[in-house]
Structure 1
């Protein structure tokens, strides 16, 4: 498993891991930095999967950390941007026959009592 823990430090990951277990499996890998979607992320994941062919799961925590924040909703809108970003990740999952889990947070803006307003995407 490859876990891209992009909101953590190596020290924080190590502390959390050793709170859970005294020894981590040999096939558990962490990274705290990565490229962006369309800016190196796909190549980094592909290179890792080529080198570690037994990998069956990649976790990206969080999706927003690998997105180009300079992009705008533009013609495609938020849904179109989500679709484009996820499509490039899905191609990797399909090509290597693995699962890729993307962590995505709720909207932080509290604008009403309607719980559906918390959903982004």
Structure 2
């Protein structure tokens, strides 16, 4: 394996697990609990944001000792920003460029995973250095 490929591969594996959990949570909320899709999506977001933060901190970036409320706040902010970026990107790809919805989902997913990896690595966990504060 290439030396720099471990973190991106672990990021993809954790992301795939979280995506599967997202499907299970949303479908369970809709089919079992009777939630509408918006409530199901928000429920999943509320469950998966702290869970995915913990998984990325421990598995992807080996940052157990550097987890903090400030880094979680940065992670949650990043998740909200990526959600907004996904909506805007999908609108651009489907409504403006006329891409098929399934192709647009694939393109957006790849683009946002790259952005998500970089922002998690450098914005969420890359800020705290020895002697530096880990504030927002």
TM-score (norm 2): 0.28
Q: Which has the higher strand share?
A: 1
TM-score (norm 1): 0.30
**Higher relative contact order (CA closer than 8 Å, sequence separation 6+):** 1
Q: Which has the higher helix share?
A: 2
